[in-house]
Amino acid sequence: MLKKELAKIFELNVAQRIMIVEAIWDSILNNSEDIPVPESQIEELESRLNTYYENPHAGSSWNTVKERILSGN
C-alpha cells in the first residue's frame, strides 16, 4: 500500500512535494524526544563538555572561526 501512496506523491509537482516534506519534518520535530540518541554520541558530548569546562577560554567564538574560514586562513 505504501508504494501506491508514494507513487501518487511522486506525481505531484515540486512545490506540493516540498509541502509534504515540510509537514513530515514538522511532525518529526514535534516528536523529537522519541528519537533515541546513541550512547556513543552522549559520551562524545560529555567528553567535549568536560574539555570545555576544564578550559573554557581555549576555543574560539563562532564569529572568529567564521571570519577565519571566510578569509581563507
Q: Where are the alpha helices (DSSP H) in the chain?
A: 2-10, 14-30, 39-54, 62-71
Domains in the chain: boundaries: 2-34, 39-71
CA distance 6 to 25: 16
pLDDT (tens digit per residue) in 13-68: 999 999 999 999 999 999 888 889 999 999 999 999 999 999 999 989 999 999 99
Global pTM reads 0.49
